[in-house]
């Protein structure tokens, strides 16, 4: 309640006459209403409206007038800024200025916490829209100085903690007043992210996809709450509804996340403003499509120290390119018309802001854009017209500079905030830089002065030999101590427009003489010319997608391809067709036959080679940023489609082994897992293009050791036994039924994403692929499904499927199994490699899957194992990695076999496809060649060349004295079913 | 009669639990295998061959065209292939039964320097995993303890035995040293500093090894009356009777490891794992040091590596004159040891000649282990440890083994897995 009063207090009192009513006990009441006029300056009223030789009149902290001919009232203090520039002070729109970092929950318990710690708020502690940092805001003078020095006059600050983070404050960086004046807006924006609050240990959500699902449910619940349907008080939802009309600023960590955040927003009619990460250039088209305004940090990495070749060879091209390409990000965003503001966020200190911005400008970023991205755009984002410009009536927040503010040679002299002066560099200090002839003690020394403002400093040489000296400069007075056969102290004043200085000198014995120095003019001009000619050449490596080794610069085009005289494995009743031609056209298999000919096609001689359908992997965990949302025993609300990662090198490695389609499954951390993504491994495409159109809906279920947390020493989550696993299913399906009854009744109901998903299962619209091992649990799930009148689609792993193959066949469920894995845990003690054969012989549709990104690049070999173990025919064996998994995924009308009219997903092998000696020559998806064994060799060479080019560039930087960073190796993450953590990419 | 019934019932009911195969008894009848393509394990092939063995030893290897008396039982094997038993290097078979069940795990010991710890005595000759090797032609293995810096002493076993004593072909063949890495980095996916830096621990860790061997050498020379088990266990390294297997990655580390070993006069060296070995082949060749590669069915090390890096490495090293073997280290290594022939086959798919790939897991493996006088190739005088396959044994489809012999003994090709297969195949057939 106290906080609330405070807020109202700020809102209701206008700035101009606030605190007039406060009693004064320190003297007499004074009013400070002085007018100040800045004349003869180049004034950037806005980035577009520039006044030459203009006047800015400031009154009561605001712009009273601005223009070419402003009438200056009597008694105005006039500051002549001839030759200088005035810009609106910058706005840092993403900041935690004045707000202490939240304290991490100190609980040291290692077991997972499932419940929320707060009461009266949303069930999830990471949803904190009620956070209002005003109560904890403390103006940080040190940080303010740092920002003022960099030209900033206002910050939009907030508590950077949680998924929904509450509102921000807009603060003028005015050290000379109180919070009562400087806080411009107490509800400037609402902030969000995918990251959990550190203040609570509540486990959910444990993944990116969980955070996305949670956001969706929160929005639904907020709506439900707003309509007055909830019996309880929920302060979080109440706050969320109140913050609804604020701009919503979403923090993301990479360009994939930016697209993900935007997707969630779009679903609820919210256009987030997105805090980017600086890698937007890597997928600029997707960034553009979000239609979002971005906030972009400019934290560039240092070159790697590549002087140790052993260390250097560990750095991936991905990371080397980051160093090389990041400075081009702003220019790429600008050229693509993406609106964005800049921020100092992620920079250790605002001091480096200008250096990095200058670098971006060198890389092609336009200065006018730069100004807009620091003034008008951030103002527009938060809908504030009184900052970020110098229109009449706006806050007198402006900087005075010696020249173009984005030039390295310019100096920011003053930063006025709310009409209060902050001096950064004394603008009356003369520029005395240059080379002088210094005469003292009968000797001629060379004095060279460089630097800016008060920091100008000089070095002294005698006939090219450096003389130890100290130089200081203040208020037109120079002091020099030089050590040449004893100390000589010089003191003197600058005269004659800084070209000459003279004064008294005291030699080592204390004798007073005189000294003088005069500027050598001609030489300076010459040097400047030299500098120009050696201007840095900027070389930015081209961006591929994904922007890593083996990425594509150009996506393969759909071609008409005629493969001649090849052995065709149809995976259909037609079996194997020798000496056959296959025509691929418009992404489809157009014709299969003998002696085909067609015009305008690319012909491939298939003599001695084999053509098969692309391999379909029913169980994969590649190409995803997360596998498990295991913080609840059911996570039906999450979907892998949200987190498909098209930058995973394993996509490329999989197509090098002939795999063209994969179901990316949720892991097996909980009985009811998440929804799948079924993707085509179209290397170089984005996530959206990889996911099947009208993709069949799937969800992962899991049984056994993983879901009962068998290998955790402190499992506390229900279930802990196979007995409990059954009850989880019965419970959720019962609740889904009740939900359906309510939904159908016409009564208002709370839309529940999890229940909606379960309903899809009950209604046969969503298929289950269930991780399973031992016969008891397999039998159990069949019975649960039968009780609720639906069918399990697939048992995956299903290593004891052979024991209940008859029951599986009767239920009509398929089996997708490993060829020969066993003995890695207790529940696979009875796993046998003959499993596939027995299930097949009992009438079950059987697929061989990988669950392993390495195995998924050689599933042809795994299929071959069923010939050895159990005597499958080669034709049937091959179906187990093509048409059978396609059937299990309900995409057998599109892929999985070579049949006229089907999608042109085919693989050309140099040998019998199940031979151990088989190698893929081409992998074609939708009629486009995504892998070609010869192109691959070229890509290897290109990686080598680009790396050595970059290494040379980095060495050059190091030799030139640039700061470097130690090399890092990108460790490979191997996702399996039971991988709990997520990657950062 | 009653007894026979009892036995039948016994097997019917508990056959699954006691599925271990009964080891075959000593060869008493000579055997002649005729007509098969013989892969000798030294790179050579004899089409239409005749192989004969008596009392566990090979007595004849040649062409079936030879007019020579066939001894004992004749096995007609036209169209089939005969191979020396495959040898798995750097395996842990019999030391762990179920990866996730700690109680079944005898793979490593605590402590840093454990040369005195011996794998052989923990080797479970009746492991369900061991018997599952044989239907794939894997008939011998080096059983290696893991963990620590010096993890212990390995032994070489054959896979048809009542107990570890029976199983041993060569006892305490080698000591295994895990060489430290010279670089260190945090796990970036857990938010740790991902920078890869020269490890400050590396010189210290290397020094620990150095001082251990220095002390051991001194101890062995001093004939101290106080027994020091770890030091005493290294005797074979210095007198050349035992090999030192150095498990090491990186060109710098490999070079350091070889240099130090030579300084101590340890001459019988083998490099295991050996990532980066392709960059120090001159050193390896000059010192006659073989490299045991990890299984090729794993992902390349770095994002920018070629997709087939782990497949082509065998060919690359062999071309430079390095003797190459195939080790089992890695995830789920025990169950995967039966895929040994297919790993060799993958090397062949990516450049290695087929017979060289066979040699990699037979003759060359025996040479690396120092058991080449006894095993590894089909040559007169060697153990009759061999098998007959329907076709190419490096190919999954044709690695179908009809007969296998260890030391001339015809072994069972059944297992826990085949028992279950037959039981359930039968169940559904009769339903």
Find residue A172's DSSP bridge partners: A154
**A104 interfaces chain B, CB cutoff of 8 Å:** no
Asked if the model's pLDDT at residue B11 lies above 60, the reply is: no
pLDDT tens track for B403-421: 999 999 999 999 999 999 9
Residue A665, CA distances (Å) to A208, A701, A761, A849, A975 in order: 15, 10, 16, 12, 11
pLDDT tens track for A139-178: 999 999 999 999 999 999 999 999 999 999 999 999 999 9
Q: How many CB pairs under 8 A join A and B?
A: 180
Asked if the model's pLDDT at residue A983 lies above 80, the reply is: no
Largest CA distance in chain A: 114
Asked if the model's pLDDT at residue B8 lies above 60, the reply is: no
pLDDT at A31: 61
Compute the half-sphere exposure of residue A740: CA atoms within 13 Å on the CB side of its CA: 14
pLDDT tens track for A39-66: 999 999 999 999 999 999 999 999 999 9
Residues of A in contact with B196 (CB under 8 A): 311, 314-315, 966-969
> What are A274's two structure tokens?
């997105």
Residue A353, CA distances (Å) to A90, A253, A318, A356, A923 in order: 12, 20, 24, 5, 47
- Please state which of the ranges A181-195, A499-513, A751-765, B122-136 shows the lowest mean pLDDT: A499-513
Q: For residue A319, what is the enclosing H or E element?
A: helix A317-325
Shortest CB distance from A548 goes to which of B191, B303, B307?
B303
Residue A376, CA distances (Å) to A42, A304, A373, A965 in order: 18, 36, 7, 35
Largest CA distance in chain B: 75
Q: For residue A147, what is the enclosing H or E element?
A: helix A141-149
The residues near A406 (Cβ < 8 Å, ≥ 6 apart) are A354, A357, A358, A361, A367, A370, A371
Distance from the A687 Cα atom to the nearest Cα atom in chain B, whole angstroms: 20
pLDDT band at A32 (very low <50, low <70, confident <90, very high): low
pLDDT at A535: 55
A841 and B308 within 8 Å at the Cβ level: the answer is no
pLDDT at A104: 87
pLDDT at A522: 55
Distance from the B392 Cα atom to the nearest Cα atom in chain A, whole angstroms: 10
CB A436 within 8 A of CB A449: yes
Mean pLDDT calculated for residue range A865-888: 98
Find residue B73's DSSP bridge partners: B31
The better pLDDT of the pair A983, B324 is held by B324
Distance from the B326 Cα atom to the nearest Cα atom in chain A, whole angstroms: 17
Taking residue B265's Cβ as centre, other Cβ atoms within 10 Å add up to 12
Asked if the model's pLDDT at residue B431 lies above 80, the reply is: no
pLDDT at A2: 47
**B315 interfaces chain A, CB cutoff of 8 Å:** no
Q: Rounded CA gap, A516 and B410, in Å? A: 108
pLDDT at B188: 64
Asked if the model's pLDDT at residue A984 lies above 80, the reply is: no
DSSP state of A328: G
Asked if the model's pLDDT at residue A429 lies above 90, the reply is: no
Q: What whole-number percentage of chain A has pLDDT above 70?
A: 94
Mean pLDDT calculated for residue range B84-91: 98
Taking residue B259's Cβ as centre, other Cβ atoms within 10 Å add up to 11
Asked if the model's pLDDT at residue A979 lies above 70, the reply is: no
Mean confidence (pLDDT) of chain A: 92
pLDDT tens track for A395-424: 999 999 999 999 998 999 999 999 999 999
Find residue A796's DSSP bridge partners: A771, A816
B345 and A917 within 8 Å at the Cβ level: the answer is yes
Euclidean distance between the first and the last CA atom of chain B, given in angstroms as a whole number: 30
Asked if the model's pLDDT at residue B2 lies above 60, the reply is: no
Length of chain A as a residue count: 985
Q: Rounded CA gap, A377 and A399, in Å? A: 18
pTM of the predicted structure, to 2 decimals: 0.92
Mean pLDDT calculated for residue range A337-342: 98
Q: Where are the alpha helices (DSSP H) in B50-200?
A: 128-131, 164-167
Asked if the model's pLDDT at residue A974 lies above 90, the reply is: no
Domains of chain B: residue spans and CATH: 86-375 (3.20.20.140)
Find residue A981's DSSP bridge partners: none
pLDDT at A950: 97
Mean pLDDT calculated for residue range A584-593: 98
> What are A693's two structure tokens?
């159109």
pLDDT at B13: 41
- Please state which of the ranges A139-153, A849-863, B177-191, B301-315 shows the lowest mean pLDDT: B177-191
Residues of A in contact with B418 (CB under 8 A): 834
Residues of A in contact with B295 (CB under 8 A): none
Phi-psi region of B242 (alpha: psi -120 to 50; beta: other; left: phi over 0): beta
CB A371 within 8 A of CB A403: no
Mean confidence (pLDDT) of chain B: 93
pLDDT band at A624 (very low <50, low <70, confident <90, very high): very high
Do you find a cis peptide bond into A719, omega within 30 degrees of 0? yes
pLDDT band at A12 (very low <50, low <70, confident <90, very high): very low
Q: Report residue B213: phi and psi, to 5°.
A: -70, -35
pLDDT at A637: 98
Q: Report residue A163: phi and psi, to 5°.
A: -85, -55
CB B194 within 8 A of CB A968: yes
Q: Rounded CA gap, B357 and B115, in Å? A: 32
Asked if the model's pLDDT at residue A776 lies above 70, the reply is: yes
pLDDT at A536: 67
Asked if the model's pLDDT at residue B148 lies above 70, the reply is: yes
Asked if the model's pLDDT at residue A792 lies above 60, the reply is: yes
The better pLDDT of the pair A176, B90 is held by B90
Shortest CB distance from B197 goes to which of A806, A838, A966?
A966
Mean pLDDT calculated for residue range A375-403: 97
**A830 interfaces chain B, CB cutoff of 8 Å:** yes
Shortest CB distance from A916 goes to which of B99, B101, B345?
B345
Cβ density class B143-166: b for 16+ within 10 Å, e for less: bbbbbbbbbbbbbbbbbbbeebee
**B112 interfaces chain A, CB cutoff of 8 Å:** no
* Pick from A61, A58, A54, A53: nearest CA to A14: A61
pLDDT at A977: 66
Q: For residue A778, what is the enclosing H or E element?
A: helix A775-787
Phi-psi region of A880 (alpha: psi -120 to 50; beta: other; left: phi over 0): alpha
Asked if the model's pLDDT at residue B195 lies above 50, the reply is: yes
Asked if the model's pLDDT at residue A674 lies above 90, the reply is: yes
Asked if the model's pLDDT at residue A20 lies above 80, the reply is: no
pLDDT at B9: 41
Substitution target from B276, B298, B302 for chain A, most A beta carbons within 10 A: B302
pLDDT at A980: 60
Q: Rounded CA gap, A351 and A349, in Å? A: 5
pLDDT at A976: 67
- Please state which of the ranges A21-25, A781-785, B379-383 shows the lowest mean pLDDT: A21-25
pLDDT tens track for A912-957: 999 999 999 999 999 999 999 999 999 999 999 999 999 999 999 9
pLDDT band at A351 (very low <50, low <70, confident <90, very high): confident
pLDDT tens track for B353-402: 999 999 999 999 999 999 999 999 999 999 999 999 999 999 999 999 99
Residue A254, CA distances (Å) to A247, B188, B382 in order: 21, 15, 63
Shortest CB distance from A318 goes to which of B197, B303, B398?
B303
The nearest alpha carbon in chain B to A832 belongs to B417
* Pick from B147, B81, B100: nearest CA to B394: B81
pLDDT at A971: 64
Asked if the model's pLDDT at residue A195 lies above 70, the reply is: yes
> What are B313's two structure tokens?
């490495």
pLDDT at A43: 98
**A645 interfaces chain B, CB cutoff of 8 Å:** no
* Pick from A497, A482, A485: nearest CA to A438: A482
CB A715 within 8 A of CB A725: no
pLDDT band at A475 (very low <50, low <70, confident <90, very high): confident
Asked if the model's pLDDT at residue B19 lies above 60, the reply is: no
Which residues of chain A from 142 to 181 reach within 8 Å of chain B, CB to CB? none
pLDDT at A435: 87
> What are A847's two structure tokens?
């697929």
Mean pLDDT calculated for residue range A826-831: 96
pLDDT at B12: 42
Which residues of chain A from 190 to 219 reach within 8 Å of chain B, CB to CB? none
Asked if the model's pLDDT at residue A887 lies above 90, the reply is: yes
The better pLDDT of the pair A66, A4 is held by A66
Q: Report residue B107: phi and psi, to 5°.
A: -90, -30
Distance from the A865 Cα atom to the nearest Cα atom in chain B, whole angstroms: 5
**B225 interfaces chain A, CB cutoff of 8 Å:** no
Q: Rounded CA gap, A676 and A617, in Å? A: 13
Strands (DSSP E) found in A531-653: 561-569, 576-585, 588-593, 602-605, 610-613, 615-620
**B346 interfaces chain A, CB cutoff of 8 Å:** yes
pLDDT at A514: 87
Q: Report residue A51: phi and psi, to 5°.
A: -110, 125
Residues of B in contact with A943 (CB under 8 A): 304
pLDDT band at A5 (very low <50, low <70, confident <90, very high): very low
Euclidean distance between the first and the last CA atom of chain A, given in angstroms as a whole number: 42
Asked if the model's pLDDT at residue A4 lies above 60, the reply is: no
* Pick from B324, B229, B213: nearest CA to B266: B213
Q: Rounded CA gap, A542 and A332, in Å? A: 12
**B183 interfaces chain A, CB cutoff of 8 Å:** yes
Asked if the model's pLDDT at residue B69 lies above 60, the reply is: yes
A823 and B302 within 8 Å at the Cβ level: the answer is no
pLDDT at A946: 98
pLDDT tens track for A242-259: 999 999 999 999 999 999
Q: Which of A70-84, A864-878, B184-198 has the highest mean pLDDT?
A: A864-878
* Pick from B72, B29, B23, B77: nearest CA to B50: B77
pLDDT tens track for A290-316: 999 999 999 999 999 999 898 898 899
* Whether the predicted interface score ipTM is above 0.90: yes
The nearest alpha carbon in chain A to B100 belongs to A825
Q: Report residue A614: phi and psi, to 5°.
A: -60, 145
Asked if the model's pLDDT at residue A610 lies above 60, the reply is: yes
> What are A217's two structure tokens?
């449910």
CB B371 within 8 A of CB B364: no
pLDDT at A533: 45
- Please state which of the ranges A533-547, A718-732, B253-267, B287-301 shows the lowest mean pLDDT: A533-547
Residue A173, CA distances (Å) to A340, A457, A960 in order: 22, 31, 37
Asked if the model's pLDDT at residue B10 lies above 50, the reply is: no
- Please state which of the ranges A903-907, A963-967, B158-162 shows the lowest mean pLDDT: A963-967
In sequence order, what DSSP letters do the residues of B60-100 get, joined into one string?
EEEETTS--PPPSEEEE-TT-EEEEPEEEEEE-TTTBS-TT
Q: Rounded CA gap, B262 and B272, in Å? A: 17
């Amino acid at each position: 309640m106290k906080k609330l009063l405070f807020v109202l207090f700020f809102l209701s009192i206008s700035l101009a006459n606030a605190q007039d009513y406060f009693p004064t006990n320190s003297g007499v009441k004074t009013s400070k209403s002085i007018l100040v006029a800045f004349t003869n300056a180049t004034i950037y009223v806005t980035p577009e409206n520039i006044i030459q030789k203009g006047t800015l009149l400031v009154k009561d902290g605001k712009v009273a007038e601005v223009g070419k001919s402003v009438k200056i009232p009597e008694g105005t203090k006039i500051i002549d800024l001839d030759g200088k520039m005035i810009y609106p002070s910058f706005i840092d729109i993403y900041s935690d200025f004045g707000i202490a970092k939240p304290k991490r929950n100190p609980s040291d318990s290692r077991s997972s916490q499932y419940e929320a710690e707060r009461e009266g708020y949303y069930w999830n502690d990471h949803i904190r829209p009620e956070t209002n940092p005003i109560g904890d805001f403390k103006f940080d003078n040190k940080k303010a100085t740092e920002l003022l020095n960099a030209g900033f006059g206002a910050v939009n600050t907030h508590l950077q903690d949680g998924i929904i983070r509450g509102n921000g404050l807009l603060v003028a960086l005015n050290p000379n007043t109180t919070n009562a004046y400087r806080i411009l807006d107490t509800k400037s924006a609402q902030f969000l992210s995918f990251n959990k609050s550190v203040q609570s240990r509540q486990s959910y959500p444990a993944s990116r996809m969980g955070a996305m699902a949670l956001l969706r449910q929160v929005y639904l619940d907020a709506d439900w709450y707003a309509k007055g349907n909830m019996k309880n008080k929920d302060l979080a939802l109440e706050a969320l509804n109140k913050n609804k009309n604020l701009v919503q600023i979403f923090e993301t960590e990479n360009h994939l996340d930016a697209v993900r955040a935007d997707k969630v927003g779009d679903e609820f009619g919210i256009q987030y403003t997105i805090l980017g990460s600086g890698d937007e250039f890597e997928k600029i088209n997707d960034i553009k499509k979000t239609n979002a305004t971005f906030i972009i940090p400019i934290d560039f990495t240092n070159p790697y120290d590549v002087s140790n070749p052993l260390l250097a060879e560990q750095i991936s091209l991905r990371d080397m390119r980051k160093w090389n390409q990041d400075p081009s990000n702003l220019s790429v965003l600008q050229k693509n018309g993406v609106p964005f503001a800049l921020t100092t966020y992620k920079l250790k200190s605002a001091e480096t802001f200008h250096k990095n911005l200058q670098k971006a400008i060198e890389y092609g970023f336009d200065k006018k854009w730069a100004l807009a991205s620091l003034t008008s755009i951030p103002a527009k984002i938060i809908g504030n017209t009184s900052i970020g410009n110098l229109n009449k009536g706006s806050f007198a927040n402006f900087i005075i500079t010696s020249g173009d503010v984005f030039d390295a040679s310019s100096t920011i002299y003053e930063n006025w905030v709310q009409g209060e002066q902050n001096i950064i560099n004394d603008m009356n200090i003369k520029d005395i830089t240059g080379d002088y002839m210094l005469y003292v003690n009968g000797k001629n020394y060379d004095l060279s002065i460089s630097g800016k403002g008060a920091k100008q400093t000089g070095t002294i040489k005698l006939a090219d030999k450096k003389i130890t000296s100290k130089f200081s400069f203040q208020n037109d007075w120079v002091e020099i101590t030089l050590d040449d056969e004893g100390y000589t102290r010089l003191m003197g004043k600058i005269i004659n427009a800084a070209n000459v200085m003279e004064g008294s000198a005291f030699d080592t014995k204390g004798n007073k003489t005189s000294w003088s120095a005069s500027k050598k003019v001609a030489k300076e001009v010459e040097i400047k010319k030299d500098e120009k000619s050696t201007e840095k050449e900027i070389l930015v490596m081209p961006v591929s997608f994904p922007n890593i080794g083996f990425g594509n610069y150009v996506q393969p085009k759909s071609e008409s391809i005629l493969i001649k005289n090849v052995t065709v494995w149809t995976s259909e009743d037609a079996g194997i067709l020798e000496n056959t031609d296959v025509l691929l056209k418009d992404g489809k298999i157009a014709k299969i036959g003998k002696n085909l000919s067609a015009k305008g096609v690319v012909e491939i001689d298939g003599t001695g080679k084999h053509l098969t359908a692309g391999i379909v992997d029913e169980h994969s965990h590649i190409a995803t940023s997360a596998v498990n949302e295991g913080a609840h025993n059911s996570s039906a609300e999450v979907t892998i489609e949200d987190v498909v990662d098209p930058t995973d090198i394993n996509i490329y490695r999989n197509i090098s082994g002939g795999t063209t389609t994969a179901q990316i499954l949720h892991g097996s951390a909980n009985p009811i897992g998440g929804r799948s993504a079924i993707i085509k491994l179209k290397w170089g495409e984005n996530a959206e293009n990889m996911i099947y159109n009208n993709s069949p809906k799937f969800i992962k279920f899991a049984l056994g050791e993983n879901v009962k947390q068998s290998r955790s020493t402190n499992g506390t989550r229900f279930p802990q036994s196979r007995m409990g696993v059954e009850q989880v299913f019965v419970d959720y399906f019962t609740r889904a039924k009740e939900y359906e009854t309510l939904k159908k009744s016409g009564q208002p109901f709370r839309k529940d994403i999890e229940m909606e998903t379960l309903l899809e299962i009950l209604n046969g619209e969503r298929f289950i692929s269930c991780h399973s091992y031992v016969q008891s649990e397999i039998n159990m799930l069949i019975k649960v499904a039968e009780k609720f009148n639906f069918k399990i689609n697939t048992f995956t792993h299903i290593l004891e499927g052979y024991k209940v193959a008859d029951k599986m066949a009767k239920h009509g469920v398929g089996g997708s199994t490993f060829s020969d894995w066993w003995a890695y845990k207790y529940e696979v003690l009875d796993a046998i490699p003959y499993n596939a054969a027995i299930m097949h012989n009992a009438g079950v549709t059987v697929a061989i899957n990988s669950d392993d990104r390495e195995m998924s690049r050689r599933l042809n070999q795994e299929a071959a194992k069923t010939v050895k173990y159990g005597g499958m025919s080669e034709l049937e064996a091959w179906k187990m990695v093509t048409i059978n998994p396609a059937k299990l995924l309900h995409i057998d009308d599109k892929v999985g076999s070579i049949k006229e009219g089907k999608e042109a997903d085919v693989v050309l092998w140099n040998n019998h496809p199940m031979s151990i000696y088989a190698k893929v020559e081409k992998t074609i998806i939708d009629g486009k060649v995504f892998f070609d064994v010869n192109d691959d060799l070229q890509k290897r060479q290109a990686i080598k060349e680009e790396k050595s080019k970059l290494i040379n560039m980095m060495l050059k930087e190091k030799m030139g004295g640039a700061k470097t960073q130690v090399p890092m190796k990108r460790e490979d993450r191997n996702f399996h079913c039971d991988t709990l953590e997520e990657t950062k990419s | 009669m009653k007894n026979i019934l009892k036995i039948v019932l016994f097997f019917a009911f508990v056959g699954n639990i006691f599925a271990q195969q009964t080891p075959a008894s000593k060869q008493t009848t000579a055997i002649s295998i005729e007509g098969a393509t013989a892969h000798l394990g030294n790179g050579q092939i004899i089409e239409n061959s005749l192989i004969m063995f008596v009392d566990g030893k090979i007595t004849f290897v040649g062409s079936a065209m030879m007019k020579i008396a066939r001894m004992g039982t004749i096995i007609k094997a036209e169209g089939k292939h005969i191979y020396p038993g495959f040898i798995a290097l750097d395996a842990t078979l019999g030391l762990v039964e179920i990866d996730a069940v700690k109680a079944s795990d005898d793979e490593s010991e605590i402590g840093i320097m454990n040369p005195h710890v011996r794998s052989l005595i923990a080797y479970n000759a009746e492991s369900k995993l061991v018997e599952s090797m044989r239907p794939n032609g894997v008939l011998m293995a080096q059983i290696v303890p893991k963990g620590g810096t010096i993890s212990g002493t390995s032994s070489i076993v054959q896979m048809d035995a009542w107990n570890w004593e029976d199983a041993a072909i060569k006892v305490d063949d080698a000591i295994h040293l895990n060489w430290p890495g010279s670089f260190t980095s945090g796990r970036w996916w857990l938010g740790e500093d991902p920078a890869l830096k020269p490890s400050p621990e590396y010189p210290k860790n290397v020094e620990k090894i150095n001082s251990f061997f220095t002390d051991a050498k001194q101890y062995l020379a001093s004939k101290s009356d106080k027994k020091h088990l770890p030091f005493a266990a290294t005797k074979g390294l210095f007198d050349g009777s035992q090999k030192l297997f150095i498990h090491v990655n990186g060109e710098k580390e490999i070079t350091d490891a070889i240099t130090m070993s030579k300084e101590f006069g340890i001459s019988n060296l083998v490099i295991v794992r050996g990532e980066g070995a392709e960059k120090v082949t001159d050193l390896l060749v000059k010192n006659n040091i073989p490299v045991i590669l990890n299984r090729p069915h794993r992902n390349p090390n770095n994002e920018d590596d070629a997709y087939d890096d782990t497949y082509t490495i065998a060919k690359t090293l062999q071309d430079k004159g390095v003797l190459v073997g195939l080790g089992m280290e890695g995830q789920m290594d025990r169950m995967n040891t039966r895929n040994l022939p297919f790993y060799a086959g993958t090397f062949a798919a990516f450049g290695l000649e087929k017979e060289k790939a066979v040699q990699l897991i037979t003759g060359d493996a025996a040479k690396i282990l120092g058991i080449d006088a006894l095993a590894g190739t089909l040559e007169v005088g060697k153990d009759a440890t061999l098998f007959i396959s329907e076709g190419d044994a490096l190919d999954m489809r044709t690695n179908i083994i009809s007969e296998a012999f260890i030391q001339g003994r015809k072994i069972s090709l059944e297992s826990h897995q085949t028992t279950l297969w037959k039981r359930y195949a039968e169940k559904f057939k009769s339903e």
